[in-house]
């Protein structure tokens, strides 16, 4: 188990007006990282997120959104100096029942160039929530996905459409900050914990109820260990410690695969009948932990970031329909999905609409991180050279030729579910 991310939420004014103080705070986060390492908890990254734009954002009232370069360049400098690993900025809340404002559209249109110019920047566009599904926002998100893919297929790693995602989740690209106070949230990399629990107690002939209990107990202990360090640090630096996202994120090697954890329940291979039960069982165990929970706190299924999800997809056991079904009981949605380069905007929009409906009907946070790869066709292998990816085949998905996206959006700007 590791801490995947220590994520600091802050307003951009703090960076603009108190640069030296903010730099000192980042140095203190490295002290926090060492404090965790002293109790044998490695910390992989230090991150930060900033507030999103929304329907009431006005460029003449926001120094950051009128000219984001000053803050983004400063954050890039912090990354270059090793004080910060990644940051999430310029996210948009576009889930309102009203039409998008001219300012929102202008800021949305900046996203491809900002992601291209700022290597360590991530961002997202919230297109639905309990307010409803904003189809205009979905159209923009699908068009962004295509536009970003034309720059570089890898860049869509840094962009997600989000659905009912609350503020101050520690995972990227979904993270955004709300509130006056500084906030600390923590993400885990802990798929290996689930594998170890399942291996140990399945071998002892324990039933699912006992495994459920052992998952609860182990992650309660993880939270308590983390909080003994995080709470005093937060109090000292006047930061609100919000909590831990209990999602046991994976790393793309066999022994840190969440799909392997599901298979270790000895029901089926990942993607076969029985997978949904395994995912729902794990999510239930995580959701029942009696500690402050934030973010997704459930099963995550990033196709290219998980060794066995990528492998089962290559073997033909996993497809987009299966991943959509999994989204009904998991905590993330369609994540790191490699798609044919010629996929059209309409098909991307329909995928987002499917996820939006699941999110709205089940009142759960979900995302789509869709990655069209220019020049690639269904069944061909991806060729990424990235520490957090295991290459797999491009998903087989038929282009939709019947859906008239522009006409649909004109007739249906949004819908409340």
| pLDDT score of 202 more than 90 | no
- 173: cis peptide before it, omega within 30°? yes
C-alpha–C-alpha distance, residues 331 and 63, integer Å: 35
| pLDDT score of 32 more than 90 | yes
CA separation, residue 330 to residues 117, 141, 163 (Å): 33, 22, 14
Question: Long-range contacts made by residues 374-382, C-beta under 8 angstroms, separation at least 24?
Answer: 374/149, 374/150, 374/153, 374/341, 375/341, 376/153, 376/338, 376/340, 376/341, 377/340, 377/341, 377/342, 378/340, 382/304, 382/338
| pLDDT score of 401 more than 90 | no
Q: Hunting for tokens 């990227």 — which residue is that?
A: 172
**Taking the domains of the chain in order of start, what are their residue ranges?**
190-208+254-408
| pLDDT score of 131 more than 90 | no
pLDDT in tens, 67-77: 999 999 999 99
Q: Hunting for tokens 């999110």 — which residue is that?
A: 359
| pLDDT score of 204 more than 80 | no
| pLDDT score of 205 more than 90 | no
The values of phi and psi at residue 212, to 5°, are: -55, -45
| pLDDT score of 415 more than 90 | no
| Mean pLDDT score, 207-213 | 92
Q: pLDDT band at residue 37, thresholds of 50, 70 and 90?
A: very high
| Mean pLDDT score, 363-387 | 97
| pLDDT score of 203 more than 90 | no
At 116 the pLDDT is 98
At 403 the pLDDT is 95
C-alpha–C-alpha distance, residues 102 and 293, integer Å: 36
C-alpha–C-alpha distance, residues 134 and 349, integer Å: 11
Any residues with CB less than 8 A from the CB of 81 and at least 6 apart, and which? none
| pLDDT score of 60 more than 90 | no
At 201 the pLDDT is 83
What does pTM read for this prediction?
0.96
| Mean pLDDT score, 380-386 | 96
pLDDT in tens, 325-371: 999 998 789 999 999 999 999 999 999 999 999 999 999 999 999 99
When the pLDDT of each residue in the chain is averaged and rounded to a whole number, the result is 96
At 62 the pLDDT is 83
CA separation, residue 151 to residues 145, 147, 377 (Å): 10, 7, 18
At 127 the pLDDT is 98
Q: Hunting for tokens 């990254």 — which residue is that?
A: 45
CA separation, residue 406 to residues 14, 115, 160, 409 (Å): 41, 26, 21, 5
């Amino acid at each position: 188990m590791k801490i995947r991310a220590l994520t600091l939420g802050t307003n951009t004014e703090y960076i603009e007006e108190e640069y030296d103080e903010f730099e000192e705070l980042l140095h203190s986060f490295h002290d926090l990282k060492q404090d965790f390492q002293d109790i044998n908890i490695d910390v992989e990254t230090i991150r930060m997120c900033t507030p999103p734009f929304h329907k009431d954002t006005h460029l003449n009232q926001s120094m950051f959104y009128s000219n984001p370069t000053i803050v983004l360049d400063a954050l890039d400098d912090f990354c270059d100096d090793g004080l910060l690993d990644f940051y999430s900025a310029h996210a948009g809340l576009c889930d309102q029942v009203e039409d998008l404002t001219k300012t929102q559209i202008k800021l949305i249109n900046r996203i491809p160039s900002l992601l291209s110019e700022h290597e360590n920047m991530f961002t997202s566009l919230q297109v639905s929530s309990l307010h409803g599904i904003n189809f205009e926002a979905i159209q923009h998100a699908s068009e962004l996905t295509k536009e970003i893919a034309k720059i570089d297929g890898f860049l869509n790693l840094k962009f997600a459409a989000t659905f009912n995602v609350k503020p101050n989740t520690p995972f990227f690209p979904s993270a955004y900050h709300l509130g006056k106070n500084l906030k600390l949230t923590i993400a885990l990399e802990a798929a290996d914990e689930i594998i170890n629990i399942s291996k140990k107690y399945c071998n002892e002939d324990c039933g699912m109820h006992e495994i459920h209990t052992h998952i609860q107990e182990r992650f309660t202990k993880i939270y308590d260990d983390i909080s003994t360090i995080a709470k005093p640090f937060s109090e000292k630096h006047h930061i609100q410690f919000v909590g831990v996202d209990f999602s046991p994120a994976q790393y793309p090697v066999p022994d840190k695969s969440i799909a392997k954890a599901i298979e270790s329940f000895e029901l089926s291979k990942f993607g076969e009948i029985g997978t949904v039960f395994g995912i729902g069982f794990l999510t239930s165990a995580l959701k029942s932990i009696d500690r402050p929970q934030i973010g997704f706190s459930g099963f995550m299924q990033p196709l290219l970031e998980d060794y066995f999800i990528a492998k089962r997809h290559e073997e033909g056991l996993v497809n987009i329909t299966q991943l959509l079904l999994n989204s009904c009981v998991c905590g993330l949605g369609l994540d790191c999905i490699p798609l044919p380069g010629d996929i059209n905007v309409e098909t991307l929009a329909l995928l987002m609409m499917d996820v939006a409906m699941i999110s709205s009907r089940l009142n759960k946070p979900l995302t789509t991180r869709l990655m069209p790869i220019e020049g690639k066709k269904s069944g061909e292998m991806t060729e990424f050279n990235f520490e957090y990816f295991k290459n797999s085949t491009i998903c087989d998905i038929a282009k939709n030729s019947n859906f008239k996206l522009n006409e649909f959006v004109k007739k249906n700007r949004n819908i409340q579910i």
